[in-house]
Structure 1
Amino acid sequence: MSQCQQCGEPAQTTLCKTCAKHMRRQITSLAKTIPELRALADRKAHIGERGGGVRGGEPGLPVSVHWLTVYEEAARLMLRLAGCVDLKWMLLPVEGWRSAYRVVCRSWSRVVCSPSAGELADRLDRMLRRIDRLCIPSDGRVTVVQCPDCSTSLAVPQGMRDGWCPECGERLDLDMLVAGRLGEAGQAVMTCSPAEAADWLTDRAGLRTTRKQVSNWLTRGRLSKARRIGRGVWEFNQAELVDTRLAQEGESA
């Protein structure tokens, strides 16, 4: 019996039943989200409140290039999933994503048994959470915080979770700064899967990390403060995750 590429539990296929079920739910969520992204790209929908037009200004483009790019990335991911069934789906234009989704549903066993199922599950999770972050509207309020490295004052819009200090270039966890939890980082914990922990390190701490790296740390006992909550779910200490990743960088240097 092999190990699940996501959680490391014994599995008869590439993914265990729990991770496969979670992946299928996320594929369904992606299928529901892609049309919404297309509507945003075509300017038939918007995030937040509409602002007033500029009198005498030039008309904007008929499509949003930003949302069109996100739409195409999401649609191509669906085509890539269908590529587990037949490689020809990966060659289709993005408009073929609906047919690709139907193929994924009909031939789900071939998708979940694919050698790349674990990688695709990671990509799917990252894509959905990226879309979720992009769809959080700003309400116009700001909170002034200080960069912990250079003490530059920064006006952080409501809902903005991470960014870069314009003065020193340091990547900042704005969510933590705004909440006033910087001094409590050593006690901050989060309950998630190894893939989500890797995503947090990559997106929030600015340390590019893969799910496999986090899983290896758990296997080798390098995350002594991590506590297993359930199948594929752990309670991680954020400071320990950062320290372990930095230590690994030092070892490879």
Structure 2
Amino acid sequence: MEPQRTCAACGHQTNEGRRLCDECTKEWARRLAWLLKAGMPALQQIVYKQATTRERSPRHGNAAYASPPVNETAQALFGTVEVHLQLMGGMLNLAPVGHDRYGRARTLKQWSELIRLLLHRLGELAGLETAGDLYADTTRLAEKVDAATTRTAERLLIGVCPDCLNERDEQGKPIRTPIYAAQSSRYAVCPACGAWLDLKRIRLEYLRSAGLMHITRTQADAARWIRDNTGVNVTGKDLANWRSRGKMPSTRRIDRHYWEWNIMELLACAQDRAERDRGDV
């Protein structure tokens, strides 16, 4: 019987000769599938300027210089992701196999075909000694692709990085690195320290540190507060349904139209609404 191991990503127990637990392996698969279906195709369009995340034209400015035919920043990111995928394919000996200048095995397949093969053989990938590092690199690059293909206006402030808070600046104050993410994102990578972050926990910790655990609002204003702070389209009717189902036990009426709302219960309602919206797509 194969002895249990500790997951290289989350620390939970795993077995079957893998370095990652089932949950982290599934999350890895979701990351790769997102790159295949949405991330890389969108980034490729931005590379060739068939799409843009800017509000203004990329040619706006000094007209004396011609705009380059490709978005060089997006092109560099696209190449970095493809090389990462090819190196993983090389570790699984996916032919044809070549070698880079560092002597590392690297398949010569393109990203679209390669991701499908990696998803099919994810069990083998999760059993590699370097599975934890590869998983972290995939997460980091997927977040960079998400940032590069998402309009700035669609990204909301979630909170601050807890890992950076443990560090001090020159004045001895905690370093507060803001974390921004799209409303559909579950995870993010800190741009300063590279920590992998659970956005739901980051948001709750941010509100808790601000001492904001309850707000007094009308039902409609509470729903608007959720929309403004999370981007999830919650209505007053959703809140009323949650109260009637007993999922907001801390909520109490203050006046005829005003209620005292528990922040954690409001965010749980937003999470439920977001999951139902994804299920309807």
Q: So what's the TM-score if we normalise by structure 2?
A: 0.49
Instruction: Give, in angstroms, the shift of residue 133 of structure 1.
Output: 2.7
In 2, Cα distance between equivalents of 1:138 and 1:62: 23
Is the partner of 2:29 in helix, strand or coil?
A: helix
Tell me if the contact between 1:34 and 1:75 (Cα under 8 Å) persists in the aligned partners. no
Query: For each residue in 1:192-219, what CA deviation from the matched residue of structure 2 results, as whole angstroms up to 9, or x when unmatched?
Result: 88xx6xx43xx2xx4x4667xx9xxxxx
Distance 1:111 1:56, change over 3 A: closer
Is the partner of 2:31 in helix, strand or coil?
A: helix
In 1, Cα distance between equivalents of 2:144 and 2:23: 23
In 2, Cα distance between equivalents of 1:96 and 1:23: 19
Give the equivalent residue in structure 2 for 1:9: 12
Tell me if the contact between 1:6 and 1:118 (Cα under 8 Å) persists in the aligned partners. yes
In 1, Cα distance between equivalents of 2:6 and 2:175: 36
Give the equivalent residue in structure 2 for 1:86: 93
Distance 1:4 1:174, change over 3 A: closer
Tell me if the contact between 1:14 and 1:115 (Cα under 8 Å) persists in the aligned partners. yes
Q: Which amino acid is the alignment partner of residue 146 of structure 2?
A: D
Alignment of 1:29-48 (within 5 A): 29-32=34-37, 33-48=39-54
In 1, Cα distance between equivalents of 2:146 and 2:125: 25
Alignment of 1:238-253 (within 5 A): none
Structure with more contact order per residue of length (Cα contacts < 8 Å, sep ≥ 6): 1
In 2, Cα distance between equivalents of 1:109 and 1:138: 36
Tell me if the contact between 2:12 and 2:21 (Cα under 8 Å) persists in the aligned partners. yes
Q: 1:66 aligns with which of 63, 73, 82?
A: 73
Distance 1:109 1:53, change over 3 A: same
Aligned length: 169
Q: So what's the TM-score if we normalise by structure 1?
A: 0.54
Give percent identity, aligned residues only.
15
Distance 1:27 1:62, change over 3 A: same
Tell me if the contact between 2:90 and 2:107 (Cα under 8 Å) persists in the aligned partners. no
Instruction: Give, in angstroms, the shift of residue 134 of structure 1.
Output: 3.1
Unaligned ranges ≥5, structure 2:
99-104, 161-169, 180-185, 207-281
Tell me if the contact between 1:41 and 1:68 (Cα under 8 Å) persists in the aligned partners. yes
Unaligned ranges ≥5, structure 1:
140-157, 163-167, 177-191, 215-228, 239-253
In 2, Cα distance between equivalents of 1:82 and 1:92: 6
